[in-house]
Chains A and B, each alone.
Chain A
C-alpha cells in the first residue's frame, strides 16, 4: 500500500479573496505561490510542520493533477493495483472522509489489491457527491 500526498494550489491564501473567508485565522498565513519554486517552499513548510511522513509530490503550475482529479481544495482517492479508481471521495472539506478511504483500503487489500465489484444498488448510492 502506498500513500501519496499531492500538494496542490493553496485553498485559503492570505492574498486571495477566498483566503479572507471562514478558513482564515485557523491556519497558517500563506500567500498563493506564483512560481514552482515558491510552491515547493510552501509544500516543504507544510510537510515539516504537519510532520507528514508519506512522500509528497508537487502539482505543476498548470495544476495538471489537481484539475484531472478535481482535487481542489482537498479530496481523497484510492487507485487499485490495476490503475482503476477504487474510491473517489467527495469534494473537501465536507466530503473529506478518511473513514471511507480506510474502508475502501481494507476492501481493496482484502481483494488482492483490486477494487471488489460492487452491486448496482451500491453504485447508485455512491454516485452522489462525486
Chain B
C-alpha cells in the first residue's frame, strides 16, 4: 500500500513537473545530433518543382532547415 502511494506520487510529480519542463524546452521530440534526419516530402512554395523530399539531398549536399512561421 505504501509502495503504491510512492509510485502514484512519483507519477504525479513526473506529470506536473518533469513533463512540462521538457515541453517548455521543446525537447520532447526534437531529433538529436547524430540521429537520422526525419524525412519529409512537402509542397514547395511558388516554384516549378512541386515537392521537395529531404532525403533527395542525401549524398549530394548538406541542408539547413529553418522551421518557423510569419508570426
> A residues engaging B (CB < 8 A)?
1-13, 19, 23, 27-28, 30, 36, 40, 42-47, 54-60, 64-88, 90-92, 95, 101, 105, 108-109, 113, 115, 118, 123, 126-127, 129-130
Checking B59, B62, B68 against A8 with a beta-carbon cut-off of 8 angstroms, the contacting residue is B68
| Majority DSSP secondary structure for residues of B touching A | loop
Number of interface residues of B (CB under 8 A): 41
Query: Is B11 at the interface (CB under 8 A from chain A)?
Result: no
Is A91 a contact partner of B36 (Cβ separation < 8 A)?
A: no
CA distance A13 to B30 in the complex (A): 23
Checking B36, B37, B45 against A58 with a beta-carbon cut-off of 8 angstroms, the contacting residue is B45
Is B33 a contact partner of A85 (Cβ separation < 8 A)?
A: yes
Is B52 a contact partner of A88 (Cβ separation < 8 A)?
A: no
Which residues of chain A come closer than 8 Å to B51, judged between CB atoms?
57
Is B34 a contact partner of A115 (Cβ separation < 8 A)?
A: yes
